[in-house]
Amino acid sequence: MNLSDEFQRVLGRAKAICVLTGAGMSAESGVPTFRGADGLWKKFKPEELANFEAFIRNPQLVWEWYNYRRQLIEKVVPNAGHAALAKMEDLVDRFTLVTQNVDNLHRVAGSKRILELHGNIMRSLCTECATKTDDPHLATEKGVPRCKKCGGLIRPDVVWFGEMLPAGVFEEAERAAGLCDVFLSVGTSAIVYPAASLPQAAKRSGAYTVEINIEATEQSDLFDEVMRGKAGEVLPCIAETLQMTKGVKP
Ligand code: BJW
Ligand code: ZN
């Protein structure tokens, strides 16, 4: 896939790049997306399950969904798109990777500076005393897990609808979007806020904005350029072009 002349020029000058990723980023690794033509959670709508009320109403069901996903994620590996982003981080002065994904695949791929907006599925948290735990098998062994310290219900350490994002993390993402020369929005339907406001923030500050997605989104018209294709195919081309424009030997 060829990059437009304009995109190549902008990449050559870029000192700061900010990337926002969504579920489509991990689709080629075998992690189902929430929405879109390939969205596999037809049975489980995130708007219905990913909220605290749903958890209190039926913790067993919500844990079933998360356990299923934890088991799936434990078996998958990063794809060529994750690897390309890890490589890009070493090619520019300031690179910020902002992800809505909870699957940890960016870290496994070697990305270092990652802002996780929606938490991490492998961690859990007590709903009463906020004690965190890293044991991903907690709930599979005992059904709905309870806190060892206070007996409170334990939940996945992810951000549900109506909840605040982790303190300071969104503010840092907003800062990076506002200061970057190039902003990439990869594999996200761009309907969940506040993450969906980041491309607009980048555009307002004069960044060159590019959407990478297999289908159009509600925000496609906002971008300077749309690359219609799979993250695992498009991102390696961008990383390679960046490497060439920076004069680094492959
Ligand atoms: C590919 C591909 C390939 C496929 N290559 N592409 C009205 C206006 C503004 C805001 C609101 C509003 N009403 C309510 C709100 C707030 C709400 C919100 O945004 N709701 C919208 C639905 C309208 N937001 C919140 O509540 C957030 N908190 C908040 O705002 O706090 C302030 C506040 C506090 C108190 C009261 C009110 C406000 C929190 C949002 C938390 C979202 N949580 C989830 C679950 C996380 C845990 C988990 O994983 O289980 O996050 S929901 C789910 O959606 C998950 C995702 O991170 C998120 C975004 O989804 P994403 O990543 O975009 O995936 P998909 O599936 O939607 O799209 C995949 C895309 O990939 C598609 O486009 C495909 O085409 C593409 N694709 N294969 C490239 N190979
Ligand atoms: Zn507790």
Per-residue pLDDT of the chain (250 residues; tens, 9 = 90+): 789 999 999 999 999 999 999 999 999 999 999 986 666 565 677 888 899 999 999 999 899 889 989 999 999 999 999 999 999 999 999 999 999 999 999 999 999 999 999 999 999 999 999 999 988 777 665 579 999 999 999 999 999 999 999 999 999 999 999 999 999 999 999 999 999 999 999 999 999 999 999 999 999 999 999 999 999 999 999 999 999 998 766 6
Reply yes or no on whether 118 is catalytic: yes
Query: Residue 132 Cα, ligand 2 centroid: separation in angstroms?
Result: 9
Q: How far is the CA of 191 from the centre of ligand 1 (A)?
A: 6
| Residue ID of nearest Cα to ligand 1 atom 2 | 24
Pairing between β-strand 182-186 and β-strand 208-213 as defined by DSSP bridges: parallel
Q: Is the CB of 120 inside a 6 Å radius of any atom of ligand 1?
A: no
Please give the distance, rounded to the nearest whole angstrom, from the Cα atom of residue 48 to the centre of ligand 2. 25
How far, in Å, is the centroid of ligand 1 from the Cα of 47?
9
Start-to-end C-alpha separation, the chain: 18
Asked whether 167 lines ligand 1 (CB < 6 A), one says no
Q: What is the pLDDT of residue 118?
A: 98
Q: Using a 6 Å cutoff on CB, does residue 213 contact ligand 1? A: yes
Q: Which ligand is nearest to the CA of 81?
A: 1
> Ligand 1 pocket, 80 CB below 6 A?
no
| Best mutation site among 192, 211, 230, 238 for ligand 1 pocket (most ligand atoms within 8 Å of CB) | 192
Tokens of 52: 């605290």
Q: How far is the CA of 123 from the centre of ligand 2 (A)?
A: 14
Q: What is the pLDDT of residue 135?
A: 83
Ligand nearest to the CA of 67: 1
The first and second tokens of residue 226, run together, are 């749309």
Residues less than 5 Å from ion ligand 2, measured at CB? 126, 128-129, 131, 147, 149-150, 152
